[in-house]
Amino acid sequence: GTGSSILSALQDLFWLSKSKVEKQLQIISVLQWVLTFLIMGVACTLILMYILCTDCWAIAALYLAWLVFDWNTPKKGGRRSQWVRNWAIWRYFRDYFPIRLVKTHNLLTTRNYIFGYHPHGIMGLGAFCNFSTEATGVSQKFPGIRPYLATLAGNFRMPILRDYLMSGGICPVNRDSIDYILSKNGSGNAIIIVVGGAAESLNCTPGKNSVTLKNRKGFVKLALRHGADLVPVYSFGENEVYKQVIFEEGSWGRWVQKKFQKHIGFAPCIFHGRGLFSSNTWGLLPYPKPITTVVGEPITIPKIDNPSQKEVDFYHSMYVDSLIKLFDKYKSKFGLPEAEVLEVN
């Protein structure tokens, strides 16, 4: 009677405490990644410069020597670490939202692939979790396929940050890096390119499903030059995790954003999520909204060393149609109304 009731109450308390601890670990895991995304590169550069001015200057000098020696490694596929990709912190990161990876078709290990990831969102949270960690089981879902998430080349000029990114299988989104992976790294490689890039991030907002794709054809040309199959990927919920101020075309705010995008490579967004201690306050933490990333059917691409514009346009059109079909097929399964239409800009 009474003893059983007390025991039951203690068990309830224990499980409640465990739940709270797991929730805090989820928050910490996401916070560290957001801070890495926003400030790690600059912070590590400043710390390195400071150490050079102290009695420990030799440590910084040794690292800088290593940096010079290792400078081209990101262009040659990087230096991934399965240990880092399997860190438990990424499972807490996954469960915060939660993030899920959905496979629709098998991928042959005898082929190479370019995944077009849509939409960009503010930070590409789904792209990172699904393809730069093993939290959602990408290696189990696609055995024999090595994913490489492509991001801004400028990130790989930042000390420490570059090594951290490479450990997750992240590479620069430039021609040298992509050419190397698709031509000198064997088969079974999948490069994930967030096609819309910075321009797309400027328009992402909750409730909006739009992609910047009409005039983005460089990834199709790369696929043709290497005979790499194109795979459309849509991440439902990517735009829901942050709210941002959208500046209208022609406004001073959009002018500033485009100038940054043109000269630096990224567009500064004014956005907010939830606070660290309360979901009712503003902060840098994303809102815990589900993100479901659906990997579509590969489009077989022939190898053409010098594809004509007509050939590029043909396969680009095929890719756009495939992406729209993927969106339409799965939208109702992941919370969108049947009447929702994917806007292609």
Residue 269: its pLDDT value, please? 78
Q: What is the largest CA-CA distance in the chain?
A: 82
3-state secondary structure at position 268: coil
Q: What is the sign, positive or negative, of the torsion defined by CA atoms of 36, 241, 19, 334?
A: negative
Residue 259: its pLDDT value, please? 77
**Distance in angstroms (rounded) separating the CA atoms of residues 37 and 52:** 25
Query: Beta strands 243-244 and 271-274: pairing type?
Result: antiparallel
100, 43 contact by CB (below 8 A): no
pLDDT in tens, 225-234: 999 999 999 9
pLDDT in tens, 104-147: 999 999 999 999 999 999 999 999 999 999 999 999 999 999 99
Instruction: Kindly tell me if the per-residue pLDDT of 235 is higher than 90.
Output: yes
Q: What are phi and psi of 269, to 5 degrees?
A: -105, 145
Instruction: Kindly tell me if the per-residue pLDDT of 246 is higher than 90.
Output: no
pLDDT in tens, 249-258: 778 777 787 7
Instruction: Kindly tell me if the per-residue pLDDT of 10 is higher than 80.
Output: no
Token digits of residue 197: 């890039």
pLDDT in tens, 29-50: 999 999 998 899 999 999 999 9
Residue 110: its pLDDT value, please? 96
Return mean pLDDT, the chain: 91
Residue 69: its pLDDT value, please? 95
pLDDT in tens, 172-216: 999 999 999 999 889 999 999 999 988 888 888 899 999 999 999
**Whole-structure pTM value:** 0.90
Residue 119: its pLDDT value, please? 96
Residue 135: its pLDDT value, please? 98
Whose tokens are 């600059």? That residue is 42
pLDDT band at 54 (very low <50, low <70, confident <90, very high): very high
Averaged pLDDT, 295-317: 97
pLDDT in tens, 82-108: 999 999 999 999 999 999 999 999 999
Residue 5: its pLDDT value, please? 58
Residue 3: its pLDDT value, please? 54
**Distance in angstroms (rounded) separating the CA atoms of residues 72 and 76:** 7
3-state helix, strand, coil in the chain (%, to 5): 50, 15, 35
163, 71 contact by CB (below 8 A): no
Q: How far from chain centre, in Å, is Cα 198?
A: 13
Which one-letter amino acid corresponds to residue 58?
A
**Distance in angstroms (rounded) separating the CA atoms of residues 187 and 341:** 36
Instruction: Kindly tell me if the per-residue pLDDT of 11 is higher than 80.
Output: no
pLDDT in tens, 160-183: 999 999 999 999 999 999 999 999
Residue of 124, 87, 93 lying closest to 29 (CA atoms): 93
